[in-house]
Amino acid sequence: MTLKGKTAIITGSNSGIGLGIARELAKAGADVVLNSFTDRPEDHQLAADLGAEFGVSARYIKADMSKGDECRALVEQAGKCDILVNNAGIQHVEPIDTFPPATWDRIIAINLSSAFHTTAAALPMMRKAGWGRVINIASAHGLTASPFKSAYVAAKHGVVGLTKVTALETAEEPITCNAICPGYVLTPLVEAQIPDQMKTHNMGRDEVIKKVMLERQPSREFATTEQMGGTAVFLCSDYAAQITGTTISVDGGWTAL
């Protein structure tokens, strides 16, 4: 399929899952807007390289997803939004009784509230264009829970709820909203953790991945950023026009347990 003529905004997309999704959307022909909270030359070069590789327009726009006005400004500055991928997110692991309140607020702002603000700004553009796709990157933790991740789990459950509300409000329009719920995905950040885990547990790479890092993922394999991107492309296709308000788990069977 082709997404030529469509513009996709992907939040938190200068690395990891967000960049993987941006690459697959660009490969399908969409013009893309990359985003993060930094404003470095390499951020803009990343967009330029992506555009050159796939022959699409690619821009980088700085916006801090913890600030509602910057979330909305990102969409407004892009000028067009046919596909919105709410991907930005952070994590902190600590028991509830010692969890820093400021960290809770920041996680809720970036992982949940940002999706509200960008969606509110993007829907009028989609309605004007007569077509739209909102894709929220939730998590297996949007459907289940783990200890010590109170803010993250609460935010991701909230993203799933926001997805359903958005879908219902646009159900009679050519606009859909769905959530992708990844399990553990092999990103540069996760890759960097493997040597430390090998040392800590005195295990080889394959063993520590299967027995420690992917203990809760029945496939014992990481999902890939390309698979996240491919799922997003599918949700943008005509085949998915009647898929809305639901979650798609890409988690190696985690939520089947």
**What is the 3-state composition of the chain as percent helix, strand, coil, each rounded to the nearest 5?**
50, 15, 35
Nearest CA to 246 among 124, 185, 118, 159? 159
**236-248: string of b/e by CB count within 10 Å (b at 16+)?**
beeebeeebbebb
CA-based end-to-end distance of the chain: 34
Tell me the C-alpha distance between 58 and 69, whole Å: 23
Residues that are catalytic: 152
The 3-state DSSP class for residue 244 equals coil
Torsion sign over Cα 44, 35, 101, 151: negative
Nearest CA to 179 among 151, 160, 207? 160
The phi and psi torsions of 87 (rounded to 5 degrees) equal -115, -25
Are the beta carbons of 251 and 223 closer than 8 angstroms? yes
Helices (H) then strands (E): counts for the chain: 9, 7
Give the Cβ contact number of residue 124 at 10 Å.
Answer: 12
Task: Identify the DSSP state of 143.
Answer: T
Are the beta carbons of 11 and 37 closer than 8 angstroms? no
The phi and psi torsions of 79 (rounded to 5 degrees) equal 85, -20
